[in-house]
Structure 1
Amino acid sequence: MAGHSKWSNIKRKKTINDAKKSKIFTKLVKELTVAARTGSAEPEFNPRLRLAIQNAKGANMPKDAILRAISKASSHDVAAYHEVTYEGYGPHGVAIMVVCMTDKLIRTVANVRALFAKYGGSLEKNGAITFLFDYKGVFTIASVDIKDYDDFTLGLIDAGAEALENDGACAHVICPVANFGNIQKHLETESIAPTFAGLEYIAHTFVQVNDATLLKLIKLIDGLKDDDDVQKVYHNIDLQPDQEALWG
């Protein structure tokens, strides 16, 4: 099965310290709350909530925190969150997609626009850069949970996976959105619990940048990720091997 050669460029992340972990938990709580509020509070009857719980566990979120987030969804005091995606260009024409979950759209768009401007980018109209990305199902599985890699790969092909890459620590499975449920069921049948599962934007056109530009882009991307309203940030930077140290 062909590997997705650009996957490592997209998913490289800096080491997560305690502050970053706190931000991640905040974003997970939002997703748990919204998932429970938009459907049943019982995971077996709510696929989105089941997925949110799975991802929270994969991020080592404490069980009591997960239960509190789900319980909070029934409270009338909880803000009504809106999901919105913003598109823009960073320095050197790098495409950046920002997925947000917010209770105040005016605040969020103002913050996102200000960050783009601060680091030499620009916020664009919806649809300006989506053609540079594919919307795909993504699963991340710890390598230690894979008993036989050949059987694992063949099973995924039969379930509808289109790409698989192993970076040593994890296997990253990519599939068409239509096959997401099939992959999920196959992994459940094999008693394999992904550390992450969801729908992601994956770039298919990439931009190389010099080191100075990359540093500006890192500040922009980190600034966006640090915003409480931002859930995910996607980009199409073609990170070169000698730039990995700059990325973190």
Structure 2
Amino acid sequence: MAGHSKFKNIMHRKGAQDKKRSGMFSKLSREITVAAKMGMPDPDMNPRLRAAVNAAKAQSMPKDNIQRAIDKASKGDTENYEEIRYEGFGPGGVSLIIEALSDNRNRTATNVRTAVSKNGGNLGASGSVSHGFDRMGLINYPASAGDAEKVFEAALEAGAEDVTSTEEGHEIWTEQASLHEVAKALEPVLGEAEGAKLAWRPQTMVEVSEADAATLFKLIDALDDDDDVQTVWGNYEVSDEVMAKLG
């Protein structure tokens, strides 16, 4: 298991994540509202909003919830959310980038710092780990979109940089500026993506031990439980043998 995608980060905890569906919907709603507020409330005219809506649909978020989040932004009936990035280290020397949307910077900073310090990590200054990641576009498709060869050919034709295919699905990587252009070009061939967003792709990976992996996943769980935290990126890699032991 590699830690550059939150989708992969949480696959081993799918059962637990299903129980947190309401919390997931809250995060998705927040992203939809922020995207709609920053641009036009029409997904066809707002790439970020379109990506947020597609991500919500992929998680079976009810249409009424999606529309309500868009309407909140249109009516100005919403908090002013700020995009915040935290950088630091987790167990085993793993580098972590934590992205949040918050209406209270002090609250979020306290919660994130507490979660990290209580689970074998520590926060660093801005730029302390991001130099080891590339800022890229990431488009996620389910395995049902097609086999690896079909997705690779479609991605190559659309102008993508790289593709990673597993049993869980496909990750299509693009240049940062080309994200929405590539995503749009893929739709006629592969259908709507599960998600399309800017991401942090690690340049090198760190393999973690069983003990460190157990603590690391507790840290990711604690961060994921925070309503303000949207995404956690990391450069960790966990072997199949360790994953089997952790269950």
CA 1:149–1:198: 2 relative to 1, 3 Å: same
Which residue number corresponds to residue 178 of structure 2? 179
The residue type equivalent to 1:40 in the other structure is M
Which residue number corresponds to residue 53 of structure 1? 53
Partner-residue secondary structure (3-state), 2:88? strand
Q: How many Å separate the matches in 1 of 2:79 and 2:91?
A: 35
Count of aligned pairs: 243
Cα-Cα RMSD: 2.2
**Structure 1 residue 170: Cα displacement:** 1.7
- The percentage of aligned residue pairs carrying the same residue is 36
TM-score (normalised: structure 1): 0.89
Partner-residue secondary structure (3-state), 1:190? helix
Q: How many Å separate the matches in 2 of 1:161 and 1:225?
A: 29
Q: Give yes or no for contact 1:159–1:179 (8 Å, CA) kept in 2.
A: no
- Residues 221-248 of structure 1: per-residue CA shift (max 9 Å, x gap): 1101110110000111121121113555
Unaligned ranges ≥5, structure 2: none
Q: How many Å separate the matches in 1 of 2:120 and 2:77?
A: 39
Per mean C-alpha deviation after superposition, the further-off stretch among 217-226 and 67-76 is 67-76
Q: How many Å separate the matches in 1 of 2:204 and 2:79?
A: 37
CA 1:118–1:190: 2 relative to 1, 3 Å: same
Partner-residue secondary structure (3-state), 1:227? coil
Which residue number corresponds to residue 133 of structure 2? 133
Which residue number corresponds to residue 190 of structure 1? 189
Which residue number corresponds to residue 24 of structure 2? 24
Q: Give yes or no for contact 1:9–1:239 (8 Å, CA) kept in 2.
A: no
Q: Give yes or no for contact 2:205–2:236 (8 Å, CA) kept in 1.
A: yes
| Correspondence list, 1:1-248, <5 A | 11-13=8-10, 14-17=13-16, 18-146=18-146, 150-190=149-189, 192-246=191-245, 248=247
CA 1:115–1:137: 2 relative to 1, 3 Å: same
Per mean C-alpha deviation after superposition, the further-off stretch among 219-228 and 200-209 is 200-209
Q: Give yes or no for contact 1:218–1:247 (8 Å, CA) kept in 2.
A: no
Unaligned ranges ≥5, structure 1: none
Q: Give yes or no for contact 2:31–2:52 (8 Å, CA) kept in 1.
A: yes
The residue type equivalent to 1:238 in the other structure is E
CA 1:123–1:246: 2 relative to 1, 3 Å: farther
Q: How many Å separate the matches in 2 of 1:19 and 1:169?
A: 20
TM-score (normalised: structure 2): 0.89
The residue type equivalent to 2:211 in the other structure is A
CA 1:16–1:85: 2 relative to 1, 3 Å: farther
